[in-house]
Amino acid sequence: MTSTPVARPDEVRRHNRTTLLRLLHVSGPSTRATLATELGLNRSTIKTLVDGLAEAGVVEERVPRPGRGAGRPSLLVLPQPHAAVVLAVDLQVEHVAIALVGFGGQILGRNSWNLHGRMREADEVITHVIESTTVLAGDLGVQPIAAGVSVPGVVRRADGHVHEAPNLRWTDVALGERLGGVLRIPILVGNDAELGAIAEHLRGAARGSSDAVYVSADVGVGGGIIADGSSLRGGAGYVGEIGHMAIRPGGRPCYCGSSGCWETEVGEAALCRALDLPEDTPRGAILFELRELGRDPHAAEERLAEFAEWLTLGLVNVVNLLGPQLVVLGDLLTVLPDSVVKSVAAEVRRRSLVSRAVGGTQIVSSALGADVKLLGAAEAAFEMILDTV
C-alpha cells in the first residue's frame, strides 16, 4: 500500500502566495477578508501572506476613499504595477504594437508602427521590436522580466517557433529563440487568436465563462478555445485554425493550399466584397462603412445577408464541434452592425443541435477592442513568472 505524498509547508506557502498573486493580478484591489473568502484561507494565513508581499513591495495596503457607510473601512490590498513588468507584443499583418504591462494588468507605456514592404520581413520585425522595447523600457525606467508575443500564424508553443505565418509570408522563424537570446528574458510566443481568447477569458466578455471560443476575423480568421476554464492548446500548440475549415466546395482558393476555407468567406477580403469595396480597401474605410451601415439595421441585414450566412454556417460548425457556452467575436467582426450579430446569433441557436442542448450559446462582441491580443500576450508572460514575483 502506497501513501499519498504530503505537501511540505514551504510548498503550501508558495502555492498560497502564487494563488493570491494571481487573484490580485486579475481581479484587482481587494480587502483581506475578501481574499480569505475567495481563496478559502484563514485570516491569519492571509495576514502573513499580505504582510510579506507588502514588505517586498509587491502590494500596498491603503484606506479606500471615504464612503457613506459607518465604521472604520477595511484596508484595500493593491497590486503594485512596477513590482513585475512584462513585455507584450502584438504582431499583426499590417501593424505591430508593443506595451510594457505591470502587475495588475496596467499598461505602463506603449509604442506601435505600421508594416509595409521590407518592414514585414522577420529580421526587420525582430530588430524593431528589440530596439523599441529598449527605448520604451529606458523611458519608463523599468525592466521587463518576461515577454508574450502574439503572432497570426501556426506557432510551436514549446519554443516559440513560428512554423508558418502565411499572411506575413513567414516560414520557420525561430521567433522565441531570437527574441529571448537578445532580451535575455523568458519568451512565450502564441497564436494571436489563442491569446485573444485568454484575454477575453481573464479580462473581457468571457470572464466567468468556463467554455468559450474567441473568433478573430482580420486578413485571416482564427480561433482561441477556452475549455473547462483553461486554454486548449493541443499537443504541440497547434490548435484553433478554424479559419481553414473547408465549408464551400469549389470555393475560392486559400493561401493554405486548400479552397473554400471559412476565412475566404468571412475574412477581410470577403467583407470588402460584401460592402462592394475593392479588396485592398484600407482598414479605416472598411470600419467607416460598417459603422455607417449600422445606422440602418434593415439595410445592414440586407447588404450583409450572404456574409452573415457564411458566418452563421462556420459558427454552427464551431458550436457543434466545441460546445461553448459563449462565442466572442473579435477584430473586424466587432464592428458588424448589432442587427446582423443578433440575426446570426439567433440562426446559430436555431440550427445548432449543441447550442440548443446547452441552453443557447451566446454570441457577443469583444469587450477589449484593439488591445485584446496585446493584453493576451501580457497574460501569457505573467503566466510564466507570477510564482517568482
Q: Are 358 and 244 in a shared domain?
A: yes
Q: How many domains does the chain have?
A: 3
Domain span holding position 109: 85-194+372-384
Q: Are 273 and 176 in a shared domain?
A: no
Q: Are 252 and 281 in a shared domain?
A: yes
* Amino acid making up residue 195: L
pLDDT digits over 14-73, tens only? 999 999 999 999 999 999 999 999 999 999 999 999 999 999 999 999 887 665 555 566
Q: Give the model's pLDDT for residue 166.
A: 84
Give the CATH number, domain containing residue 128.
3.30.420.40
pLDDT digits over 95-143, tens only? 999 999 999 999 999 999 998 888 889 999 999 999 999 999 999 999 9
Kindly state whether residue 251 falls inside one of the protein's structural domains.
Answer: yes
- Give the model's confidence band at 6: pLDDT under 50 very low, under 70 low, under 90 confident, else very high: low
Q: Are 362 and 248 in a shared domain?
A: yes
Kindly state whether residue 254 falls inside one of the protein's structural domains.
Answer: yes
Closest of 245, 153, 165, 134 to residue 195, by C-alpha: 153
Q: Are 98 and 164 in a shared domain?
A: yes
Average pLDDT of the segment spanning 364-389: 93
Q: Which of 51, 79, 107 is the last residue of a domain?
A: 79
Q: Which of 48, 79, 110 is the last residue of a domain?
A: 79
Kindly state whether residue 131 falls inside one of the protein's structural domains.
Answer: yes
Kindly state whether residue 4 falls inside one of the protein's structural domains.
Answer: no
Q: Give the model's pLDDT for residue 122.
A: 94
Q: Which of 44, 79, 114 is the last residue of a domain?
A: 79
Q: What is the mean pLDDT of the chain?
A: 91
Q: Are 212 and 342 in a shared domain?
A: yes
Kindly state whether residue 3 falls inside one of the protein's structural domains.
Answer: no
CA distances from residue 246 to 25, 149, 254, 258, 385 in whole angstroms, order as listed: 40, 28, 10, 8, 39
Q: Are 143 and 108 in a shared domain?
A: yes
Q: Are 357 and 296 in a shared domain?
A: yes
Kindly state whether residue 156 falls inside one of the protein's structural domains.
Answer: yes
Q: Which of 155-159, 171-175, 189-193, 320-324 has the lowest mean pLDDT?
A: 155-159
Closest of 319, 298, 120 to residue 213, by C-alpha: 319
pLDDT digits over 209-221, tens only? 999 999 999 888 9
**Cβ-contact 139, 85 below 8 angstroms:** no
**Cβ-contact 36, 19 below 8 angstroms:** no
- Give the model's confidence band at 313: pLDDT under 50 very low, under 70 low, under 90 confident, else very high: very high
Q: Are 172 and 236 in a shared domain?
A: no
Give the CATH number, domain containing residue 47.
1.10.10.10
pLDDT at 237 over 70: no
Q: Are 350 and 376 in a shared domain?
A: no
Q: Give the model's pLDDT for residue 73.
A: 67
> H/E/C letters for each residue in the chain?
CCCCCCCCHHHHHHHHHHHHHHHHHHHCCEEHHHHHHHHCCCHHHHHHHHHHHHHCCCEEEECCCCCCCCCCCCCEEEECHHHCEEEEEEECCCEEEEEEEECCCCEEEEEEEECCHHHHCHHHHHHHHHHHHHHHHHHHCCCCCCEEEEECCEEECCCCEEEEEHHHCEEEEEHHHHHHHHHCCCEEEEEHHHHHHHHHHHHCCCCCCCCEEEEEECCCEEEEEEECCEECCCCCCCCCCHHHCECCCCCCECCCCCECECHHHHCHHHHHHHCCCCCCCCHHHHHHHHHHHCCCHHHHHHHCHHHHHHHHHHHHHHHHHHCCCEEEEEEHHHHCCHHHHHHHHHHHHHHCHHHHHCCCCEEEECCCHHHHHHHHHHHHHHHHHHHHC
Q: Are 118 and 169 in a shared domain?
A: yes
Q: Give the model's pLDDT for residue 238.
A: 66
Kindly state whether residue 202 falls inside one of the protein's structural domains.
Answer: no
Kindly state whether residue 201 falls inside one of the protein's structural domains.
Answer: no
Q: Are 217 and 264 in a shared domain?
A: yes
**Could you identify the residue written with the cell 439595410?**
299
State CA 182 to chain mean position distance: 25
Average pLDDT of the segment spanning 344-369: 92
